[in-house]
Amino acid sequence: MRIEISDLTVKRGGRLTLDHASLSLEPGELIGLIGPNGAGKTTLMRAMLGLIPASGLSSLAALPPAKRALIAAWLPQEREAAWPISVENLIRLGRIPHRRPDADAAHIEAALSRMGLQSLRHRAVTELSGGERARTLIARALAQDTPVLMADEPIAGLDPAYQIATMQLFRDLADEGRTVIASLHDLGLAARHCTRLVLMDQGRIVADGKPVDVLTPDNLAHTFGIEGHFAQTKEGPVFQPLRVLS
Protein backbone atom coordinates (compact mmCIF):
# COMPACT_ATOMS: atom_id res chain seq x y z
CA MET A 1 0.00 0.00 0.00
CA ARG A 2 1.39 3.33 -1.08
CA ILE A 3 1.41 6.12 1.49
CA GLU A 4 1.64 9.75 0.48
CA ILE A 5 2.25 12.66 2.76
CA SER A 6 2.84 16.19 1.66
CA ASP A 7 3.59 19.36 3.59
CA LEU A 8 2.64 17.64 6.82
CA THR A 9 3.14 20.22 9.59
CA VAL A 10 2.62 20.05 13.36
CA LYS A 11 2.76 23.10 15.59
CA ARG A 12 3.12 22.76 19.33
CA GLY A 13 3.27 25.84 21.49
CA GLY A 14 4.16 28.12 18.58
CA ARG A 15 7.04 25.84 17.59
CA LEU A 16 7.10 23.70 14.48
CA THR A 17 7.76 20.15 15.67
CA LEU A 18 7.13 18.91 12.15
CA ASP A 19 7.96 21.24 9.31
CA HIS A 20 6.36 20.60 5.93
CA ALA A 21 7.32 16.94 5.62
CA SER A 22 6.64 15.24 2.32
CA LEU A 23 7.23 11.54 1.62
CA SER A 24 6.02 8.81 -0.62
CA LEU A 25 6.30 5.26 0.76
CA GLU A 26 5.96 2.15 -1.36
CA PRO A 27 5.11 -1.46 -0.53
CA GLY A 28 8.22 -3.58 -0.06
CA GLU A 29 10.18 -0.85 1.65
CA LEU A 30 11.67 -0.97 5.15
CA ILE A 31 12.14 2.68 5.96
CA GLY A 32 14.44 3.60 8.82
CA LEU A 33 13.56 6.94 10.36
CA ILE A 34 16.72 8.35 11.88
CA GLY A 35 17.73 11.60 13.50
CA PRO A 36 18.85 12.97 16.85
CA ASN A 37 16.53 13.18 19.88
CA GLY A 38 13.77 15.72 19.29
CA ALA A 39 14.19 15.66 15.51
CA GLY A 40 10.47 14.93 15.06
CA LYS A 41 10.53 11.22 14.22
CA THR A 42 7.69 10.28 16.58
CA THR A 43 5.74 13.38 15.62
CA LEU A 44 6.04 12.50 11.95
CA MET A 45 4.69 8.99 12.47
CA ARG A 46 1.84 10.07 14.78
CA ALA A 47 0.85 12.83 12.38
CA MET A 48 0.95 10.39 9.45
CA LEU A 49 -1.49 8.17 11.34
CA GLY A 50 -3.70 11.08 12.30
CA LEU A 51 -3.19 10.56 16.03
CA ILE A 52 -2.31 14.22 16.48
CA PRO A 53 -3.75 17.22 14.63
CA ALA A 54 -1.61 18.31 11.72
CA SER A 55 -1.93 20.47 8.65
CA GLY A 56 -1.01 19.19 5.21
CA LEU A 57 -1.90 15.85 3.72
CA SER A 58 -1.47 12.26 4.83
CA SER A 59 -3.19 9.50 2.93
CA LEU A 60 -3.41 7.45 6.13
CA ALA A 61 -4.77 10.21 8.36
CA ALA A 62 -7.40 10.97 5.73
CA LEU A 63 -8.99 7.57 6.27
CA PRO A 64 -11.72 7.00 8.84
CA PRO A 65 -10.01 5.61 11.99
CA ALA A 66 -11.69 2.20 11.80
CA LYS A 67 -10.57 1.78 8.18
CA ARG A 68 -7.09 3.08 8.90
CA ALA A 69 -6.69 0.52 11.67
CA LEU A 70 -7.09 -2.22 9.04
CA ILE A 71 -4.28 -0.70 6.98
CA ALA A 72 -1.69 0.51 9.48
CA ALA A 73 -0.54 -0.95 12.80
CA TRP A 74 1.25 1.34 15.27
CA LEU A 75 3.75 0.30 17.86
CA PRO A 76 4.22 3.19 20.31
CA GLN A 77 7.54 3.71 22.02
CA GLU A 78 6.06 3.39 25.53
CA ARG A 79 5.70 -0.34 25.95
CA GLU A 80 2.45 -0.11 27.82
CA ALA A 81 0.41 -3.03 29.06
CA ALA A 82 -1.79 -1.84 31.90
CA TRP A 83 -3.23 -5.09 33.22
CA PRO A 84 -1.81 -8.51 34.04
CA ILE A 85 -3.30 -10.10 30.93
CA SER A 86 -1.66 -13.09 29.30
CA VAL A 87 0.70 -12.81 26.34
CA GLU A 88 -1.84 -14.55 24.16
CA ASN A 89 -4.66 -12.20 25.19
CA LEU A 90 -2.48 -9.16 24.66
CA ILE A 91 -1.70 -10.32 21.14
CA ARG A 92 -5.41 -10.92 20.64
CA LEU A 93 -5.97 -7.18 21.20
CA GLY A 94 -4.42 -6.72 17.76
CA ARG A 95 -7.52 -8.29 16.29
CA ILE A 96 -9.78 -5.54 17.70
CA PRO A 97 -9.99 -3.55 14.44
CA HIS A 98 -11.21 -6.65 12.67
CA ARG A 99 -14.30 -6.64 14.87
CA ARG A 100 -13.98 -10.38 15.42
CA PRO A 101 -11.43 -10.42 18.25
CA ASP A 102 -11.89 -14.12 18.98
CA ALA A 103 -12.23 -15.36 15.43
CA ASP A 104 -8.75 -15.23 14.00
CA ALA A 105 -6.79 -17.72 16.06
CA ALA A 106 -4.54 -18.33 13.05
CA HIS A 107 -3.21 -14.76 13.11
CA ILE A 108 -2.56 -14.96 16.82
CA GLU A 109 -0.71 -18.26 16.46
CA ALA A 110 1.33 -16.88 13.58
CA ALA A 111 2.31 -13.81 15.59
CA LEU A 112 3.18 -15.93 18.63
CA SER A 113 5.46 -18.23 16.67
CA ARG A 114 6.97 -15.46 14.58
CA MET A 115 8.12 -13.71 17.78
CA GLY A 116 9.09 -16.98 19.49
CA LEU A 117 6.56 -16.49 22.28
CA GLN A 118 4.82 -19.88 22.30
CA SER A 119 6.32 -20.90 25.62
CA LEU A 120 5.23 -17.61 27.22
CA ARG A 121 1.69 -17.55 25.88
CA HIS A 122 -0.01 -17.97 29.27
CA ARG A 123 2.32 -15.70 31.22
CA ALA A 124 0.98 -12.34 32.43
CA VAL A 125 2.62 -9.51 30.50
CA THR A 126 3.28 -7.62 33.73
CA GLU A 127 5.62 -10.45 34.80
CA LEU A 128 7.69 -10.40 31.61
CA SER A 129 11.16 -8.95 31.23
CA GLY A 130 11.50 -5.77 29.21
CA GLY A 131 12.62 -7.63 26.11
CA GLU A 132 9.86 -10.21 26.35
CA ARG A 133 7.32 -7.47 26.72
CA ALA A 134 8.70 -5.64 23.69
CA ARG A 135 8.44 -8.81 21.61
CA THR A 136 4.90 -9.40 22.83
CA LEU A 137 3.88 -5.92 21.76
CA ILE A 138 5.48 -6.43 18.35
CA ALA A 139 3.53 -9.67 18.07
CA ARG A 140 0.38 -7.71 18.92
CA ALA A 141 1.08 -5.37 16.02
CA LEU A 142 1.74 -8.35 13.71
CA ALA A 143 -1.60 -9.87 14.70
CA GLN A 144 -3.29 -6.71 13.45
CA ASP A 145 -2.22 -8.05 10.03
CA THR A 146 -1.95 -4.74 8.21
CA PRO A 147 -0.13 -3.85 4.99
CA VAL A 148 1.60 -1.03 6.85
CA LEU A 149 3.53 -1.34 10.12
CA MET A 150 4.87 1.72 11.94
CA ALA A 151 7.11 1.27 14.96
CA ASP A 152 8.64 3.85 17.28
CA GLU A 153 12.07 2.68 18.46
CA PRO A 154 11.07 -0.97 18.39
CA ILE A 155 14.53 -2.34 19.18
CA ALA A 156 15.52 -0.02 22.01
CA GLY A 157 16.47 -2.04 25.07
CA LEU A 158 16.57 -5.41 23.32
CA ASP A 159 19.63 -7.64 23.43
CA PRO A 160 21.72 -7.90 20.23
CA ALA A 161 20.17 -11.17 19.12
CA TYR A 162 16.64 -9.84 19.38
CA GLN A 163 17.64 -6.50 17.84
CA ILE A 164 18.96 -8.32 14.80
CA ALA A 165 16.04 -10.76 14.75
CA THR A 166 13.53 -7.92 14.93
CA MET A 167 15.21 -5.98 12.13
CA GLN A 168 15.32 -9.15 10.07
CA LEU A 169 11.63 -9.72 10.77
CA PHE A 170 10.81 -6.20 9.62
CA ARG A 171 12.82 -6.78 6.49
CA ASP A 172 10.99 -10.04 5.84
CA LEU A 173 7.69 -8.23 6.27
CA ALA A 174 8.81 -5.66 3.75
CA ASP A 175 9.94 -8.36 1.36
CA GLU A 176 6.46 -9.88 1.68
CA GLY A 177 5.15 -6.66 0.21
CA ARG A 178 4.32 -4.63 3.29
CA THR A 179 5.47 -1.14 4.10
CA VAL A 180 7.43 -0.97 7.33
CA ILE A 181 8.55 2.28 8.97
CA ALA A 182 10.64 2.23 12.11
CA SER A 183 12.41 4.99 13.96
CA LEU A 184 15.87 3.85 14.99
CA HIS A 185 18.84 5.14 16.93
CA ASP A 186 21.15 2.30 15.99
CA LEU A 187 22.60 3.56 12.71
CA GLY A 188 24.51 0.30 12.17
CA LEU A 189 21.35 -1.80 12.21
CA ALA A 190 19.56 0.87 10.19
CA ALA A 191 22.25 0.84 7.51
CA ARG A 192 22.36 -2.91 7.34
CA HIS A 193 18.63 -3.81 7.26
CA CYS A 194 16.69 -0.85 5.90
CA THR A 195 15.99 -0.46 2.21
CA ARG A 196 15.71 3.27 2.72
CA LEU A 197 16.59 5.83 5.36
CA VAL A 198 14.84 9.10 6.12
CA LEU A 199 16.99 11.51 8.09
CA MET A 200 15.27 14.15 10.18
CA ASP A 201 16.57 17.20 11.99
CA GLN A 202 14.62 19.92 13.81
CA GLY A 203 11.27 18.85 12.41
CA ARG A 204 12.46 18.70 8.82
CA ILE A 205 13.32 15.83 6.52
CA VAL A 206 16.90 16.57 5.53
CA ALA A 207 17.81 13.44 3.57
CA ASP A 208 15.93 10.55 2.05
CA GLY A 209 17.33 7.61 0.08
CA LYS A 210 19.43 4.48 0.23
CA PRO A 211 21.57 4.15 3.38
CA VAL A 212 24.72 4.84 1.46
CA ASP A 213 23.26 8.13 0.17
CA VAL A 214 21.95 9.25 3.54
CA LEU A 215 24.76 8.31 5.93
CA THR A 216 27.21 10.67 4.26
CA PRO A 217 29.92 12.40 6.30
CA ASP A 218 28.18 15.72 5.64
CA ASN A 219 24.76 14.60 6.87
CA LEU A 220 26.28 12.88 9.92
CA ALA A 221 28.23 15.98 10.84
CA HIS A 222 25.31 18.36 10.41
CA THR A 223 22.56 16.41 12.08
CA PHE A 224 24.25 14.18 14.63
CA GLY A 225 27.55 15.96 15.04
CA ILE A 226 29.40 12.68 14.66
CA GLU A 227 31.79 10.98 12.32
CA GLY A 228 31.43 7.38 11.17
CA HIS A 229 32.70 4.72 8.88
CA PHE A 230 30.54 3.39 6.08
CA ALA A 231 31.60 0.40 3.98
CA GLN A 232 30.06 -1.91 1.43
CA THR A 233 31.09 -5.46 2.31
CA LYS A 234 30.13 -8.79 0.89
CA GLU A 235 27.79 -9.06 3.91
CA GLY A 236 26.11 -5.87 2.74
CA PRO A 237 26.42 -2.25 3.95
CA VAL A 238 28.17 -1.75 7.30
CA PHE A 239 28.20 1.43 9.32
CA GLN A 240 30.01 2.16 12.54
CA PRO A 241 29.83 5.53 14.34
CA LEU A 242 33.34 6.56 15.39
CA ARG A 243 33.54 9.82 17.32
CA VAL A 244 31.71 12.98 18.31
CA LEU A 245 32.74 16.09 16.42
CA SER A 246 33.52 19.00 18.65
Partner 1 sequence: MRLLLSLSVLCLLLMLASILIGPAGAGIGESIRALWTGDDALGLVMREIRLPRAVLGAAVGASLGLSGAAMQGYLRNPLAEPGLIGVSASAALGAVIALQTGLATALALALPLSALTGAVIAVGLILLLAGPGGGSLGLILAGVAISAFAGALTSLVLNLSPNPFAAGEIVFWMMGSLADRSWLHVAIAAPIMAAGAALLWGSGRGLDALTLGEDGAASMGINLRALRLRVVLGVAAMVGAATAVAGAIGFVGLVVPHLLRGAVGGRPGRLLAASALGGAALVLAADIAVRVVMPGRDLKLGVVMALIGAPVFLQLIWRQRRGL
The H or E element containing residue 108 is helix 105-114
Q: Please report how close the Cβ of residue 152 comes to partner 1 at its closest, in angstroms.
A: 9
Q: Which is nearer to partner 1, 92 or 193 (CB)?
A: 92
Of 71, 67, 51, whose CA–CA distance to 147 is shortest?
A: 71
Q: Which is nearer to partner 1, 86 or 219 (CB)?
A: 86
Q: Please report how close the Cβ of residue 212 comes to partner 1 at its closest, in angstroms.
A: 32
- Whether residue 184 contacts residue 34, with contact meaning beta carbons closer than 8 Å, is answered with yes
Of 176, 174, 188, whose CA–CA distance to 30 is shortest?
A: 174
Q: Please report how close the Cβ of residue 128 comes to partner 1 at its closest, in angstroms.
A: 13
Interacting residue ranges for partner 1, rule: CB under 8 A: 46, 49, 51, 65-70, 72-74, 76, 78, 80-86, 89-90, 93-94, 96-97, 101, 124, 137, 140, 144
Of 124, 122, 180, whose CA–CA distance to 150 is shortest?
A: 180
Q: Please report how close the Cβ of residue 222 comes to partner 1 at its closest, in angstroms.
A: 31
Rounded to whole angstroms, how far apart are CA atoms 31 and 23?
A: 11
- The single-letter code of the amino acid at 227 is E
Q: Which is nearer to partner 1, 93 or 110 (CB)?
A: 93
Q: Which is nearer to partner 1, 85 or 156 (CB)?
A: 85
